Amino acid sequence: MPERARDSCAVAYAHELSDYNGHYGIPELCDICPLAQLNRCKNAYRVPDALGVRRVASTLPEALGLVVVDITEHAAIVSGLATEQPRYYLQHALGFQVHDVRHPHRERRHGRADIGWEDGAQDE
């Protein structure tokens, strides 16, 4: 795994598991992974439907206000979560990216952090 590896990808690779954060749905984030790891993630990758997202969310009191705004091949877009913790849980439980409308993910960036990025390109 190259030095730039994301934590969840590195952990998954070390244990020969698919990435629990569902990064496979955002292909530009997978450009550093070995082919064997890409295949693991590809084989495990499933796009949930809105009912499936709501079913997982129903186990969390913190997610009672969840609204599934959209589901694409890349992520479930949700609203109604008061904090990030329920979103993390949903993402890990589904193995699929979950984005909150209040905190959009930026293209070609891992997560939403502005630190370490200039002019929309990654610092090397």
80-109 tens-digit pLDDT: 999 999 999 999 999 999 999 987 776 655
Residue 34 CA to its chain's centroid (Å): 19
- Mean pLDDT value across residues 9-37: 86
Each residue of 60-90: b (16+ CB within 10 Å) or e? Answer: eeebeebebeebeebbbbbebbeeeebbebb
Name which residue leads in pLDDT, 123 or 91: 91
Pairing between β-strand 67-71 and β-strand 76-79 as defined by DSSP bridges: antiparallel
* Separation CA 66–CA 63 (nearest Å): 5
Tell me whether residue 44 is exposed, middle or buried, using C-beta atoms within 10 angstroms of its C-beta: 0 to 12, 13 to 18, 19 or more: middle
Q: How confident is the model at residue 124 (pLDDT cuts 50, 70, 90)?
A: very low
